[in-house]
Structure 1
Amino acid sequence: MRLFFGVFPPRPVQETLAAAQASLRGNWKPVRAGQLHVTLGFLGEVPPEELPQVMQAGEEAAAAVAPFAARIRGTGFFPNEGRPRVWFARAEGDGFEPLALDLRRRLPGFLDDDRPFKAHITLARRKGPAPRLGPVVFDLEFPVNGFALVHSTLTPRGPKYETIQQFSLKGE
């Protein structure tokens, strides 16, 4: 199973972000509105027998972090220099990094990413020649009360997501 942990903003936030995709030109492939999310950790292929361990790590990480406010202010690119592969919206919130790092700590072998965690929402991926977009400024805020473990199935029309489990934040 191809899995990731993610925070899905409420539908009005997703729709506002999706509206910004109208400015895309060239070979940018937009992410569908209902799939816009902050990835806390991408696990990749997980054998079914490992699923209980992954779900336990999600429960424990959720118990350690309190609900928090998330903010979306503007856009950027990965990589920032040269030809970008990803256009994203910057996400801010006190709980994003603690959650991501706690999940990494609890799931060695699955989340062994040494790169610093950067909370973001991927808006589009470049699939060929495409111009850079100018910055887009947002003033969006939403409460984060939990996150999800999601099964992602790749198809020719794009990924299909199925939520396996929701985790409610419970920390003090």
Structure 2
Amino acid sequence: MGNQQNAHFFFALKLPSETKKKLNEHCEELKGKFPFSRWVHHDDYHITLAFLGSAPEDKLIAAAKLVADSIKNVKSFPLFINRLGVFGNESAPRIFWSDTEREERLHYLRDQVFSACKEAGFKLEKRPFKPHITIARKWIGSENFQKSMLDQYNPFKEKTIEFSASGVVLYRTHLDKTPKYESIAIFPLLVE
């Protein structure tokens, strides 16, 4: 899996390239209304399922095998991007994200991936799972952020973006590149 030094790894739900393109079109419009300092490159859109941090190759290989085994019978399912949200300080949030309608199968998939990574020996964060697609970071507006803006400028009110959850990806982070996430293994879900 290559040189692991200073690299971080995570498992995520893969977003289809057409979905990334549609979401990016909305983000281009949102940039004028939401002054965040860094907008995520559209190729980097994903929903994190388990963040591993830095990892020795043997643990990564073990996690990949356990994840593949734990999701081998999971079927593909539809998701709908439907709203915007933020994490961090309410007047100056650090993360701007889009979200999907609640889907129990996504939570089940995350539980399978998360448990497999723990079994491989990874210490994972304990925060409750809040599926989201990070689209920008660090509020730099001259005015305080207003939560009402999320609904006011929500581009998904009229029409959600539907896509199929079709696979899990093991990503490697390259902080010095754009896009910064490299897919190093893909685990497809079953297609009916």
TM-score range, shorter chain: 0.7 to 0.9
1:114 to 122, 126, 132: 126
Q: Give the fraction of aligned pairs with identical amino acids, expressed as a percent.
A: 29
Name the counterpart of 1:83.
92
Residues 32-71 of structure 1: pairs in structure 2 closer than 5 A: 32-71=41-80
Match of 1:132 among 145, 162, 175: 145
Amino acid in structure 1 at the alignment position of 2:175: L
Contact 1:152 1:159 in 2 (8 A): no
Q: 1:56 to 1:171 in 2, by over 3 A?
A: farther
The DSSP-based 3-state class of the residue aligned with 1:81 is coil
Residues of 2 paired with 1:117 and 1:54: CA distance? 19
Report the CA distance shift for 1:171/1:54 in structure 2 as closer, same or farther (over 3 A).
Answer: farther
Greater strand fraction, Structure 1 or Structure 2: 1
Query: What is the root-mean-square deviation of aligned Cα atoms in Å?
Result: 2.3
TM-score in terms of structure 1 length: 0.86
**Aligned residues between the structures:** 170
Q: Which amino acid aligns with 1:69?
A: P
Secondary structure of 2:79's counterpart equals strand
Unaligned 5+ residue runs, structure 1? none
2:174·2:180 contact (CA, 8 Å) conserved in 1? Answer: yes
- Mapped to 1, the partners of 2:175 and 2:81 lie a distance apart of 27
Q: Would you identify which runs of 4 or more consecutive aligned residues in structure 1 move more than 4 Å?
A: none
The farther-off stretch of 54-63 and 91-100 is 91-100
Answer yes or no: is the 8 Å Cα contact 2:41–2:179 preserved in 1. no
Greater radius of gyration (CA):
2
Residues 13 and 168, structure 2, Cα contact 8 Å, conserved in 1: yes
- After superposition, the C-alpha distances for 1:38-79 in whole angstroms (9 at most, x for unaligned) are 111111101112122111122023224221111100100013
TM-score (norm 2): 0.78
